[in-house]
Amino acid sequence: MKSFKQSKTLENLPQQFFAKLVKDVNKVTSEGHDVINLAQGNPDQPTPGHIIESAQEAVENPLFHKYSPFRGYPFFKEAASEFYKREYNVDIDPETEVAVLFGGKAGLIEVSQCLLDEGDIALVPDPGYPDYWSGISLAKAEMVPMPLHEKNDFLPDYSLVDKGSLAEAKLMFLNYPNNPTGAIATADFFSETVELAKDNEFCVVHDLAYGAIGFEGEKPLSFLQTEGAKDIGIEIYTLSKTYNMAGWRVGFAVGNPSVIAALNLLQDHLHCSLFGGVQKAAATALTSSQESVKNLVSLYENRRNFLMEQLHEIGWAAQAPKGSFFAWLPVPEGFTSESFFKVLLEEAHVAVAPGTGFGEYGEGYVRVGLLQDEEVLAEAVRRIGELGLFKQ
């Protein structure tokens, strides 16, 4: 069989970090060990019943058996607009300021293709979500990392970013609540970001994937609540986390109409929008009771508090996340992210995500998901404690 050579564009793609991780975990599992997987970010709870019922009804509607409108059904875009008004008091024009997406990931990758040419610069958080890199690479653009340090609450310190890169940049990715650090943004930081983007004429893409998940009563901000944000940026929202709909592949972008128009134009060439039944279910999720969201956040908060307590008991000193469903934990002395990941996997049979998978500045940390029941979290910590790596 002839094996065709891949294009240079594909050859130059960054290595898919999670694909490699899954391989390592599978190897240990195939040796007969029962591995507790805390490495991935797949929500463990089911989609709420009222959303499923809405989809079930929609499946039977012959309207949805036809091609969907290229740019999505108006009812879904109106639901997105209603959601932003209700949750954030932000006005969004459903016609010109919403683009329907096959999940957040698709939009995050498409936006680079929409705004970047070969050799252009995009600023990315480091550590940060690796999908930003994929889109930048597909656009043959360059990325400049903005380090996120614990001493700065994992917000980039713009005074430390090279002035030339800021002046040249076309795009900046941000993500709060943050994957992987669990940090949340402040209104002042978002205002500073708007000013910087105006001065340097770049577009800000804020990834609000974990927007619903803030702890201790704190509601994470939408970037679009910042004065002037819509002039210079967009926000990408996904239903994957807020409504446990990761498998449904549905999200949307909102904000600056010129960027929304670019996304819509690219998508006219790539797809013919989502199945109408998925759009219907998503609209139901966005506009009906949000009780399930409240319950979900409290489930994650209980797991977070439980995990932090357990970690402290074995002498693992770590900060509790302020949002998202991840905890970002410092590795003990004498280890790197990667060597600690290996020890936990091979000796405790616990899989975590090594911080360096999220960029150079992820060194010194591992990421743990709050996506298992408390008993499983307790067992994972017990196994790690038995290794005796932490000073009590």
Comparing CB distances to ligand PMP, the nearer of 238 and 310 is 238
Comparing CB distances to ligand PMP, the nearer of 36 and 106 is 106
Q: Contact 138/7 with Cβ under 8 angstroms?
A: no
Closest CB 67 distance from ligand PMP, rounded Å: 23
Closest CB 168 distance from ligand PMP, rounded Å: 25
Q: Contact 204/175 with Cβ under 8 angstroms?
A: no
Cα–Cα distance, 77 to 70 (Å, whole number): 13
Comparing CB distances to ligand PMP, the nearer of 94 and 135 is 135
Q: Contact 255/230 with Cβ under 8 angstroms?
A: yes
Cα–Cα distance, 140 to 77 (Å, whole number): 31
Residue 269 token pair:
């060439």
Comparing CB distances to ligand PMP, the nearer of 77 and 105 is 105
Comparing CB distances to ligand PMP, the nearer of 329 and 348 is 329
Comparing CB distances to ligand PMP, the nearer of 176 and 340 is 176
- DSSP-derived secondary structure letter, 148: B
Comparing CB distances to ligand PMP, the nearer of 64 and 129 is 129
**Burial track 116-141 (b if 16+ CB lie within 10 A, e otherwise):** beeebbbbbbbbbbbbbbbbbbbbbb
Cα–Cα distance, 349 to 37 (Å, whole number): 9
Closest CB 208 distance from ligand PMP, rounded Å: 9
Comparing CB distances to ligand PMP, the nearer of 17 and 390 is 17
Closest CB 134 distance from ligand PMP, rounded Å: 12
The helix or strand, by DSSP H or E, that contains position 328, with its residue range, turns out to be strand 326-330
Closest CB 34 distance from ligand PMP, rounded Å: 25
Closest CB 2 distance from ligand PMP, rounded Å: 34
Closest CB 214 distance from ligand PMP, rounded Å: 15
Comparing CB distances to ligand PMP, the nearer of 41 and 182 is 41
Q: Contact 174/204 with Cβ under 8 angstroms?
A: yes
- From residue 202, how far is each of 183, 198, 205 by CA, in Å? 24, 7, 10
- DSSP bridge pairs for 327: 368
> Helix, strand, or coil here: 252?
strand
Helix axes 131-138, 103-115, angle to 10 degrees: 30
Cα–Cα distance, 166 to 155 (Å, whole number): 16
- From residue 286, how far is each of 212, 252, 329 by CA, in Å? 12, 11, 33
Closest CB 19 distance from ligand PMP, rounded Å: 14
Q: Which positions lie near ligand PMP, rule CB under 6 A?
A: 41, 103-105, 129, 175, 179, 207, 209, 238, 240, 246, 251
Closest CB 166 distance from ligand PMP, rounded Å: 23
